[in-house]
Every structure is written in C-alpha cells, then in structure tokens.
C-alpha cells in the first residue's frame, strides 16, 4: 500500500453576517499585502538588482503591521497573510524558471477572493470547523463525507463572482488507491465538434455548455450594460451575469471530471497533444468554442488522476502532423484544410476519418516516447 494521497474536498458553506464581514476583510488584507510585497520586490530588483525572498517579505509584513496607516492588517488572522507571501514566492519561482509570466498585482474586481489557513489558524473538532478570529464554526453543507478519520492540514475559504462561499479542506485520503494495471492505451485528439476523439474510434460529443446558456447570458450582459455605473442595480445585474457563468462552469467541470476519470480508469496509458491553448485563443473565430471545450482543464485532471491511480499520461509534440499523416502507411500529406473531415491516402488507398486518424497517430507517437 502506497502513501496516502493529499486530496482537497470542496463544500459550499453559508457564513453568518459577522463571519462574512471578517472573511471579506481578510480577503482585502490579503490583496493589500500581496500587492505591497510585489511592489517592494519589484523596486528592490529595479533599483538594487536584489532578488528578495519570502523571509525578507515576512519581515516587511511585520513592519507594515506596525505602521499606523496599515494597522487594519492586525484585525485579521496573520496566517493567511503569511500564506499569500508564500504564494508570491511561488509565483516568482515559476517566473525565474520560465514557467509563467511576471507576477501581476491583484485587483479588487478580477482577483480570486480566497484565504488559506494552515493548522495553527483553525480548529477541527467533531466534524466542525472554526477559523481563527471567529467564535462560531462554519455552517458547511456536507455534500459528501470526508474520509474516515481524516484530519485537515490546510483549509482554503473562497467566494466566487456569483457570491457563493466555498471551503476547500485538504486531507490525506487513504481511500485513493492505485488501480490494477491494464494493457489498454488510448490516444486522444481534442476537438470542437467532438470534444474528444479516441484512437479506438469513439467520439465524445461536445456538450457545448456555454452555447446552451448563450441567449440567457447575452440578455443578462445587455441588462448589465444599461445600468448606471456604481449603482446598486448594476451590482445586482453583475451578480446575475456571474451566476450564469457559474452555472456553465459547474456543468463543464462536472462533465470533465466524469470523462477524465473514465479515461484514466480504463487505460494504463493516455496519450494527448501538448496543445498551446493560450496561442490558439488568439484565433477570434474559434476562441469562444476553444474556451468552452476547456482542454487545459482536461489535461490537468488527467495528469493528477493518473498520479493517484498509477497510470501514465504522455503529451506528444504539438507540431506533429497527426491529421496529415496516414496511420496505416505513414505517408504525410502536404496540406489538410480544416474543412476536410475525411480523406483517402494516396499511398495505400485507406479511407480515414480525420479525427480518428489523428488520435491513432497521437497514440503511436506516445508509445514510441514511452
């Protein structure tokens, strides 16, 4: 039996008015500390070419809390403030390793409202969770039970744009076990008409969650545009738009979880393309459909579930001509416009479905790399 998997369980909760006020204040302080630290680190590099660390930003936080104009930082738990400095350090590490862009400042409207509490900043007793600076436990809707005997190591509280409150509880989950090995391997070609095409010939229909609510979303956005800025009615209209977006995202996420879990359970090896979704979104004619397909989310889910269950995910080169190559004889065609959905190989006369052929080539390339 291997080590227990660290897994986050996410739940809705309904804060009391004083809890909501305390958490909102905490979100604001986190944003302030993050921006202060980012600005200080940027200036330290621009002026002195000094690369600062988390330890130095933590010392700065102590000084900031002593300043009269920043005394409000003492009204919230210190742990989420320290955690945001650790997150900033991780963002800089990703930038230095050329895995991400330079860290950006958090804005009040666009940044995710969340706070991370480590073990010293919450109390877990008899299935009741109480955060630091709060006298009452959170009213959590336990939509599914935590693993028996699980002890939370980290708790993250967040509020989405639709005004919903969530708590994510990180525990060691001994119930997640490696699956018995199987001989099956599958190549996956991501698409828009078909969300996925598998090398065994199966095509997974694209639910097009965004398209289903597009008319309702358009009406809500038009109503928002007509409201006076900074008015109460505009805030209500913005909330209606956010709720429609949340409904779309929830349905998309649920479908993607079910699909990726099935692929990982049924196959020992899953081969995908190393797609650059960010670059593909620059095609404005396809950007909406590509965003709705959520290919990046699918890859992330496949990779962490493969780790959980003892499977392998392989990403092949995005420049491989998977659609133009005959999976039967290996002949590469010079051109293959997007409107060509099936074709006959001039070399071996085999008739191909474009997407199934691409999935077969992706699988073959992945098995060679393995």
> Which positions are annotated as active-site residues?
189, 273, 355
Structure tokens at 38: 């980012």
**Contact indicator for 92, 41 with CB cutoff of 8 Å:** yes
CA–CA distance, 362 with 250 (Å, rounded to integer): 30
User: What does the block give as tokens for 256?
Assistant: 């993607």
Give the C-alpha separation, 72 to 24, whole Å.
Answer: 13
Helix (H/G/I), strand (E/B), else coil: 146: coil
Give the C-alpha separation, 92 to 30, whole Å. 17
What size, in residues, is the chain?
370
User: What are the distances in angstroms from CA 85 to CA 32, 111, 129, 186, 280?
Assistant: 11, 16, 24, 42, 33
Cα end-to-end distance, the chain, whole Å: 25
CA 70 to chain centroid, in Å, comes to: 33
CA quadruple 340, 344, 346, 349: dihedral, nearest 10: 170
Q: Which of 81, 60, 85 is nearest to 72 (CA)?
A: 81
């Amino acid at each position: 039996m291997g080590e227990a998997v660290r897994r986050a369980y996410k739940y809705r909760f309904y804060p009391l008015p004083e809890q909501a006020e305390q958490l909102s204040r905490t979100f604001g302080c986190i944003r302030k500390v993050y921006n202060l630290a980012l600005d200080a680190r940027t200036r330290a590099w621009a002026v002195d070419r000094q690369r600062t660390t988390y330890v130095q930003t933590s010392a700065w936080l102590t000084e900031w809390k002593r300043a009269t104009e920043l005394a409000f930082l003492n009204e919230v738990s210190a742990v989420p403030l320290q955690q945001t400095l650790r997150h900033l350090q991780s963002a800089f590490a990703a930038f230095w390793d050329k895995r991400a862009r330079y860290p950006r400042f958090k804005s009040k409207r666009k940044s995710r409202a969340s706070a991370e509490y480590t073990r010293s900043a919450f109390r877990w007793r008899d299935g009741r969770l109480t955060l630091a600076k709060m006298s009452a436990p959170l009213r959590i809707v336990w939509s599914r039970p935590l693993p028996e005997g699980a002890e939370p190591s980290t708790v993250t509280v967040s509020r989405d744009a639709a005004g919903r409150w969530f708590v994510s509880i990180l525990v060691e989950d001994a119930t997640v076990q490696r699956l018995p090995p199987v001989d099956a391997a599958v190549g996956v070609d991501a698409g828009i008409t078909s969300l996925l095409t598998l090398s065994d010939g199966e095509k997974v229909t694209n639910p097009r969650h965004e398209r289903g609510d597009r008319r309702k979303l358009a009406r809500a956005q038009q109503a928002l545009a007509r409201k006076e800025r900074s008015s109460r009615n505009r805030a209500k209209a913005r909330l209606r738009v956010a709720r429609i977006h949340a409904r779309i995202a929830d349905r998309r996420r649920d479908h993607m979880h079910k699909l990726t879990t099935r692929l990982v359970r049924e196959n020992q090896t899953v081969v995908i393309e190393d797609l650059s979704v960010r670059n593909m979104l620059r095609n404005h004619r396809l950007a909406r459909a590509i965003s709705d397909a959520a290919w990046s989310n699918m890859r992330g889910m496949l990779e962490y579930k493969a780790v959980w269950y003892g499977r392998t995910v392989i990403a092949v080169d995005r420049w491989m001509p998977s659609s133009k190559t005959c999976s039967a004889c290996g002949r590469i065609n010079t051109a293959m416009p997007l409107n060509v959905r099936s074709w006959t190989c001039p070399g071996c006369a085999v008739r191909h479905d474009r997407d199934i052929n691409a999935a077969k080539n992706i699988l073959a390339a992945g098995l060679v790399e393995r």
